[in-house]
Amino acid sequence: MARDVSNSTPIGSKDELVSWIEAGEKPASSFRIGTEHEKFPFYRSDLAPVPYEGRAGAGGIRALLEGMQQRLGWEPIVDAGNIIGLAGPEGGGAISLEPGGQFELSGAPLETLHETQAELAAHIADVKAVAVPHGIGFAALGASPLWTRAETPVMPKGRYKIMANYMPKVGTLGLDMMFRTCTVQVNLDFATEADMVRKLRVSLALQPLATALFASSPFLERKLNGFQSMRSEIWRDTDNARSGMLAFAFDEGMSYEGYVDWALDVPMYFVKRGDTYHDVAGASFRDLLAGTLPQLPGERATMSDWANHLSTLFPEVRLKRFLEMRGADAGPPEMLTALPAFWVGLLYDTSALDAAWDLVRGWSAQERQALRDAVPKQGLAATVAGRPLHEVAAEVLELSRAGLARRARADGAGQDESVFLAPLHEIVARRRSLAQDLEERFRSAWNGKVEPVMTELAL
């Protein structure tokens, strides 16, 4: 999230929290596609990470943001005097920083995947133009392949300091998640509560499949880590109170209120008042609602508190006023457009969504969780409900392709959006992820070295 929400409207009841999410409903004709991706900046001369203030003879993250501000004319987002992001024109995109300097584009809500591809191409061109004079490149991979946590820079962003202090109390890998992972995700709309529930269930069940298809993180600290998606494995022990597969979403009667009830029981990180982040990590949002939060006596919850709290929940699929698909590693440009294509084909076409639900509705909570646990290591070789995942992948990919074809959104050359699924068709046909290809290069062409991944996969 580039900017924490500012809305001082007081909250009077839980019903208002439900209504806040419900306000995201829109007719199918107004559905949009919002794609986000993160990437690791590095100095091309020695593959070192890029600190906020840079180093002798080269600018850093601050210089990148200031250069992008000058190039794009976007509004700077400032935290304690430091530029930490950029906000585009009203209804546009944003640029933000993850805790370790990961550079993120939060794309604008767009109508077609052709527009998504154009947005991505423009962003990469802009960021390269700004980065080249500083000798900076970018690698989009699921996990940082070279640097230790100690070598990774820390960005000057208030909420991240609070999170970094809290993470070791609730898991062993939370700091790795913050500082050493990158993802690509897509934000998609829903029309009604029933539509939200159907999309949430299908995308939760199939999120491990997306993890397998987009796995790109077999390296950590200059060696193989034993996983295809180290990023996904890291999430298994980050903070289980606020992450995971949301088994309750499959319970009878699932609703907006069901998600709100879960969210209310997830401990908070912070309460923001003005420009100050108050550390309330571990406290209950219910206490803030009641005005009995010990850290801020008498302070009552506002709508901005609710929106900010929802942004600190990290399930495999997150509900706000849209649904966020959160299971994929970042990757090269063709994978950054394949991810939204995969989910748009499944979730924005009624026939594809119904068929996908028929496919997964018989999977038990135990089977869904077992798949989630197996995929970071096994990828497409995992099984679910007695079926090989690569077999399920072929079936689901065809549903997505058909859904995109029925959307019939053509570019100037007459190609529909299914063209963006091409790299996934190749992965499924070969039963090999990018992570497995990278491991093979490590063992052969790279002579046991990880460093070449930074330059060969640089954006």
pLDDT at residue 4 in the model? 64
Instruction: Confirm whether pTM is higher than 0.95.
Output: yes
Q: What is the mean pLDDT of residues 48-62?
A: 97
- Cβ–Cβ under 8 Å, residues 168 and 175: yes
pLDDT in tens, 237-292: 999 999 999 999 999 999 999 999 999 999 999 999 998 999 999 999 999 999 99
pLDDT value of residue 313: 98
Measured CA angle at 207 (ends 367, 398), to 5 deg: 100
Confidence class for position 91, pLDDT limits 50, 70, 90: confident
Work out the percent of the chain whose per-residue pLDDT is above 90. 97
Q: What angle do CA 144, 5, 158 make, to 5 degrees?
A: 50
Name the burial class of residue 253, with classes exposed (0-12), middle (13-18) and buried (19+) by CB atoms within 10 angstroms of its CB: exposed
How sure is the predictor about 8, in pLDDT bands with cuts at 50, 70 and 90? confident
The predicted model gives 96-103 an average pLDDT of 98
Please choose, from the candidates 384, 379, 368, the residue with its C-alpha nearest in 3D space to the C-alpha of residue 246: 368
Query: Is pLDDT above 90 for 357?
Result: yes
Over pLDDT 70: what percentage of the chain? 99
Please check the confidence at residue 34 and state whether its pLDDT lies above 70: yes
220: pLDDT confidence band, cut at 50, 70 and 90?
A: very high
**So what's the pLDDT on residue 6?**
65
CA angle, residues 306, 308, 314, in degrees to nearest 5: 105
- Please tell me the predicted confidence (pLDDT) of residue 2: 55
- CA distances 362 to 250, 277, 306, 393, 418, Å, are 11, 44, 34, 17, 28
pLDDT digits (tens, 9 = 90+) for 300-336: 999 999 999 999 999 999 999 999 999 999 999 999 9
Residue type, 17: L
**Res 3 pLDDT > 70:** no
Rounded distance between C-alpha atoms, residue 443 and residue 450, angstroms: 10
Tell me how far the alpha carbon of residue 390 is from its chain's centroid: 23
Across all residues in the chain, what is the average pLDDT? 97
Tell me: the pLDDT tens digits for 392-413?
999 999 999 999 999 999 999 9
pLDDT(166) > 60: yes
The mean pLDDT of 79-90, rounded to a whole number, is 95
**Cα–Cα dist 139/136, whole Å:** 10
pLDDT value of residue 440: 98
